[in-house]
Amino acid sequence: MRETGYAKINLALHVRRRRGNGYHELETLFAFVDAGDRLSASSAEQDSVKVFGEFAGGLDDPFDNLVAMALGKLPRADGLTITLEKNLPVAAGLGGGSADAGAVFRIVRERFGLPDDWRERAAALGADVPACVESRTCIGRGTGTELEPADDSLAGTPVMLVNPRLPLSTGPVFKAWDGVDRGPMPQGDARAIALQGRNDLEAPAIELCPEIADVLAAIRGTSPFLARMSGSGATCFALFENETARDEAAARIAADHPRWWQMQGNLR
């Protein structure tokens, strides 16, 4: 069996307040790119995970690998050997580990079925894992686990992802947030929310990683209809009206900034 760990982006991310338990109250519009990590699975006597690819080195701790942890959360009659091609950078605002865990849930669902409490099991791995299981545009509230359906008005939209090849952990970015509630996420269809929304973590992320501002300036210079940082960074995305515009932008970024990582695709 083969699956894709679809790259997750936050088209909007509004941080409302800090809860008493230290977590933050969020409102976000999740969307997913039709590209990302690649996973294959085969039957085995016991579970195992093999990792290769450009960013495999970021997963050298077997106790911090969400693929292995996802397998451990799901009861099955047989074991699975998962081979992961790690194409997404680690600690990049793309939910790479969560996307991989979501792909494992889909593999197990197809082969064995999922337990009734699969959402709770997924949330125990990370706040965005439940959204990554379905990998469809949706609204997340609370810590990101309270999901609501969203329309498909942006489905098929060409997208370019760009990262300066600098990891940025989520914890320090949230810690650097100034704590100001700038208001709720707007209402409307997905396109309206994306255009009128914001990412409240963009400023603190730039404070910790100034290169993000360079990426945003570069991709905004390619005339997308929206460019924004995803999640807690450092990956930024640009949305285009057509694939020709996206491909021309990608070629320009590659020529001007050959060391930056990028990926192209379309929103699912």
Each residue's pLDDT tens digit, 166-220: 999 999 999 999 999 999 999 999 999 999 999 999 999 999 999 999 999 999 9
Q: Which residues of the chain have pLDDT under 70?
A: 19-22, 60-63
The set of catalytic residues is: 8, 128
Q: What is the pLDDT of residue 62?
A: 59
Query: Amino acid identity, residue 253?
Result: I
Q: What is the pLDDT of residue 263?
A: 98
Q: What is the pLDDT of residue 57?
A: 86
SS (H, E, C) the chain: CEEEEEEEEEEEEEEEEECCCCCEEEEEEEEEEEEEEEEEEEEECCCEEEEECCCHHHHCCHHHCHHHHHHHHCCCCCEEEEEEECCCCCCCCCCHHHHHHHHHHHHHHHHCCCCCCHHHHHHCCCCCHHHHHHCCCEEEEECCCEEEECCCCCCCCEEEEEECCCCCCHHHHHHHCCCCCCCCCCCCCHHHHHHHCCECCHHHHHHHCCHHHHHHHHHHCCCCCEEEECCCCCCEEEECCCHHHHHHHHHHHHHHCCCCEEEEEEEC
Q: What is the pLDDT of residue 58?
A: 78
Q: Which domains does the chain have, with CATH numbers?
A: 2-149 (3.30.230.10), 158-266 (3.30.70.890)
Q: What is the pLDDT of residue 63?
A: 61
Q: What is the pLDDT of residue 24?
A: 79
Q: What is the pLDDT of residue 59?
A: 77
Q: What is the pLDDT of residue 22?
A: 65
